[in-house]
Amino acid sequence: MRSTTNRSPARGLDGTSSLAGLREFRPRTTVLLVFLTLMVAVVGWRIARDTGARRVDVLAREAIGLFDASPPMGTATVLPDAAEASMRFQALAGVPFGFPRDDVDFVPVEVRREMIANHPAVSLRFRYAGEGYLLVVYARDRLLGAPSVAAFPEGSFVSGERDGRSFVVWEREEATCIVVSEVDVTQAFDLVRRLFT
């Protein structure tokens, strides 16, 4: 009994492919593999384009712009204590967020509504040990009642420097948070870990 193959009987055994497939050129298979490779590359590029790195970059750029913008005259409200700032912040943000109440170095200055990365947000300008900071928080989008996927795992932080400003980004309780300051990034990161987590 003889086995059947898909090769022309005119080709001898010398024209057949080796185990590695290096001797026989198969144009259909090659075209299919190139097409699949390109399709996977395009899908991977689209996924990478919309991932957390791009979102963090946009968020940091816009938060630094808010930090650099001086508040309009007459809109700044100096808050007497952290408890009032916390209540006003939670009322505007819609997410629970507490501020240190027993720390004399923490001085809230202003709570405002903002727009950041095309999301309604709430900002708190505050001073800590004489240095100025801006905290911006916005609730993540909800699709069909479920919160959207976080840009990075909860409990993780992304920090960096841009245009002489340091920033720390993190996500918690269905909200994205960022702190911006002129202090060193390690000092800003330490402040976020101590005060807001």
Alpha-carbon span 1 to 96, nearest angstrom: 78
Q: Does residue 182 fall inside a structural domain?
A: yes
Number of domains in the chain: 1
Q: What is the pLDDT of residues 126-177, one digit of tens each?
A: 999 889 999 999 887 644 344 445 444 555 788 888 888 999 998 877 788 8
Residue with tokens 């075209």: 31
Q: Does residue 174 fall inside a structural domain?
A: yes
Q: What is the pLDDT of residues 77-127, one digit of tens each?
A: 555 678 888 888 888 888 777 788 888 888 888 888 988 878 889 999 999
Alpha-carbon span 155 to 168, nearest angstrom: 12
Alpha-carbon span 182 to 80, nearest angstrom: 24
Q: What CATH number has the domain bearing residue 113?
A: 3.30.200.100
Picking from 57, 43, 56, 49, the residue whose alpha carbon sits closest to that of residue 151 is 56
| Residues forming beta bridges with residue 136, ordered by sequence position | 123, 178
Alpha-carbon span 175 to 173, nearest angstrom: 5
Q: Does residue 3 fall inside a structural domain?
A: no
Which range of residues forms the domain containing residue 132?
52-195
Alpha-carbon span 188 to 179, nearest angstrom: 8
The amino acid occupying position 192 is V
Cβ(99)–Cβ(82) under 8 Å?
Answer: yes
pTM of the shown model: 0.66
Q: Does residue 172 fall inside a structural domain?
A: yes
Q: Does residue 163 fall inside a structural domain?
A: yes
| Residues forming beta bridges with residue 15, ordered by sequence position | none
Q: Does residue 140 fall inside a structural domain?
A: yes
